[in-house]
Amino acid sequence: MRADESSAGTAIDLIGFVTRHLACAQCHTAYTPSDVHVTQHERDEWLLLATCPTCSAQRTITAYDGPPYLRLDGPYGPLLPPLTPLDVAEWRAFLSRFTGDMIDLLAEG
Ligand SMILES: [Zn+2]
């Protein structure tokens, strides 16, 4: 497969993701593939523009064709020290008081 064929496939995948998972923020109309266009592509970063077929509101979407952690330092992500018994104790204490779900947990910060 040539690089431009791969890029075209990635664009189709990203547009498909937008039409399946995102809708107009103004009127909640779903996008169709013809409503979503690639406006910029550089390495693994893509900018998409979605135009609502009902109210014409436009939305810019930034997408990456690889896991974001691969963009960080190191071959497998950021170089972090190993967990210590203190880290584990702190997490144990935190989780014993935590009453939310995984979304709440990952949104903390
Ligand atoms: Zn709309």
Task: Give residue-wise pLDDT tens across range 45-60.
Answer: 899 999 999 999 999 9
Cβ atoms 71, 61 nearer than 8 A: no
Q: How far does residue 14's CA lie from ligand 1's centre (Å)? A: 20
Take residue 97 and report the two structure tokens written for it: 């008081």
Ligand 1 centroid distance, CA of 66 (Å): 29
The Cα–Cα gap between 14 and 37 comes to 10
What tokens were used for 25?
């923020």
CA 47 to ligand 1 centroid distance, Å: 19
Query: Which pLDDT belongs to residue 7?
Result: 83
CA distance 8 to 65: 12
Q: Show me where the domains of the chain are located.
A: 3-107
pLDDT of residue 102: 86
Residues in the chain where the model's pLDDT stays below 50: 1
